Amino acid sequence: MDVRNGEAGKVEVSGEVDGHGREILTEEALAFVAELQTRFGPRREELLARRSERRAQVARTGRLDFLPETAHIRAEPAWRVNLAPRDLIDRRVEITGPTDPKMAVNALNSGAQAWLADLEDANTPHWHNVVTGQVVLSDAVRRRLSYTSPDGKEYRLGDGRLATIIVRPRGWHLTERHVTVDGEPASASLVDFGLYFFHNAHELLGRGSGPYFYLPKLESHLEARLWADVFAYAEQRLGIRRGRVRATVLIETIPAAFEMEEILYELRHYAAGLNAGRWDYLFSIIKYFRDAGPDFVLPDRNAVTMTAPFMRAYTELLVRTCHKRGAFAIGGMAAFVPSRRDPAVNETAFERVRADKEREARDGFDGSWVAHPDLVPLCNEMFDVRLGAHRNQLSRLREDVHVTADDLLDLASTPGAVTMRGLRNNVAVALRYLTAWLGGTGAVAIFNLMEDAATAEIARSQLWQWIHNRTKLDTGEKVTPELVGDAVAEEYERLRAEVGTGDGGVGDSLDAARNLLERVVLGDDFVDFLTVPAYDLIDSTT
């Protein structure tokens, strides 16, 4: 399909598209995406190059700090983000999940105040998922979404209040090879944003809501500025009054933690808040300081809790920053998936979730994330206790919080050890997740936790870092390529016995998943994002 419209370039779409997909991939919508790509694509490339330059500097110095050139923004007391729209004032529980139709219906009906409709880490970029996700979102906005399971069970939206939709497009680092503009793959961020905004912005506004987004993987305020310019252009292009877009930024990279205020400032006409994206944050720290020596080696990922000093500094700074500027602070994910067979597992896990949400509410967060509908009442309860008759905690300014660069980088004070059990768990989770991901599933229940790409990123990056630092395990052994390779081989055999191969199921991706895991864990060079080489393994027609 070729499209030319104004400054739009030549657009080509590959991959199969059914009738519903053609309602999304219209010439007008693709022309809009092409305009975004032509106008903003070059700046995106420049900012991605800047990421590499900054990371190289950190590798030389072993240091990050608050930017001196933006000190005036942090020091200016007067500026605030725009007031939130009505359906974003109360965000005490947000449920996250992919745009699978069944899971979308359950999320919208869950009783949560918002649904993070995830086109990123809980999704995979199989072309079917990309297109179907947009169809599901369009139907959800218009309250016509339904799903009938193979066994005939029907899932339909309730008649009352549904969760407010907040869409998470893919990050700036990803491209969409099925949509090319002048022969080059378009930014996946602009494809996801552009299609959703074009088809739904006016509809949402007419229904008393608006086009709301979660912005992932930002590493600087300049990347936030790019999103602000995209929003401004999109609103102008579609005749929408400025500032109707609302964006919540995930502070899930270590450089972004040093630019929270600047990110809010760049998005001040659009910003709705910041989120403590804890899992990707851990991955980012490992990635950034992977070669900075043993002081930057973290213990087993399951041992790194939100009470670790560097994580406390990060979350408390986020709350203070948000409330200082009139933005909402949203807490991290409770990923537990309740078991229908093991009440004891549920009891222990629910107590941990309860403690986590109670801590977030006590610290001043305005809301938090859950991955399963059964956790919505528990999270609601914890915030109800703290908020009382209020809908948020914006008035809690947390002026008692004072966080330094050293506090954010104090990984050495993290309690816990690197253990053989943790190593094997990293191998098991990464292999199982990659197997499912290559098969087309991005949100996977593994060992009673709902895992997405961030989990696999932490697991494989820890393994790489432990190998390259020859980290000592609790057994006395040092982590070597041979030790990790043996663990991968053993987990591969265990998983193959569980799922089998050759039936068109998830097991058919197992060999490719093993090869990919070995490449990114045992290789000399660190791969910045696991999903980039994984994308290359997906059949281009799927």
pLDDT, one tens digit per residue, over 202-225 is 999 999 999 999 999 999 999 999
Catalytic residue among 92, 398, 452, 514: 452
Instruction: Indicate if the pLDDT at residue 391 is higher than 70.
Output: yes
Q: Within 15-67, where are the H helices?
A: 19-24, 27-61
Rounded-to-integer distance, Cα 98 and Cα 102, Å: 10
What is the band of 1 on the pLDDT scale with cuts at 50, 70, 90?
low
Over range 448-469, report the average pLDDT.
Answer: 94
pLDDT digits (tens, 9 = 90+) for 94-105: 999 999 999 999
At 489, the amino acid letter reads: A
Instruction: Indicate if the pLDDT at residue 6 is higher than 50.
Output: no
What is the band of 541 on the pLDDT scale with cuts at 50, 70, 90?
low
Instruction: Indicate if the pLDDT at residue 506 is higher than 80.
Output: no
Region for 516 from its dihedrals, namely left if φ exceeds 0, alpha if ψ lies in -120 to 50, beta otherwise? alpha
Q: Ranked by mean pLDDT, which of 37-46, 57-66, 273-282 comes out on top? A: 37-46
Instruction: Indicate if the pLDDT at residue 147 is higher than 60.
Output: yes
Instruction: Indicate if the pLDDT at residue 358 is higher than 80.
Output: yes
312 is catalytic: no
Over range 484-506, report the average pLDDT.
Answer: 84
Instruction: Indicate if the pLDDT at residue 477 is higher than 50.
Output: yes
Q: What percent of the chain has pLDDT over 70?
A: 97
- Report the Cα 171 to chain-centroid distance in Å: 8
Contact 484, 460 (CB under 8 A): no
Contact 498, 447 (CB under 8 A): no
pLDDT digits (tens, 9 = 90+) for 415-444: 999 999 999 999 999 999 999 999 999 999
Catalytic residue among 44, 91, 92, 168: 168
In this prediction the pTM is 0.96
- Would you state the pLDDT for residue 201? 98
At 159, the amino acid letter reads: D
What is the band of 376 on the pLDDT scale with cuts at 50, 70, 90?
very high
Instruction: Indicate if the pLDDT at residue 484 is higher than 60.
Output: yes
Rounded-to-integer distance, Cα 330 and Cα 438, Å: 31
pLDDT digits (tens, 9 = 90+) for 128-137: 999 999 999 9
452 is catalytic: yes
Rounded-to-integer distance, Cα 422 and Cα 464, Å: 14
The answer to which of 320-324, 338-342, 397-401, 463-467 has the lowest mean pLDDT is: 338-342
Over range 321-333, report the average pLDDT.
Answer: 97
Average pLDDT, the chain: 94
Rounded-to-integer distance, Cα 476 and Cα 249, Å: 42
Rounded-to-integer distance, Cα 200 and Cα 206, Å: 10
- Would you state the pLDDT for residue 274? 98
- Would you state the pLDDT for residue 540? 59
Instruction: Indicate if the pLDDT at residue 493 is higher than 80.
Output: yes
DSSP per-residue codes, 9-24: --EEE-S---HHHHHH
Instruction: Indicate if the pLDDT at residue 15 is higher than 90.
Output: no
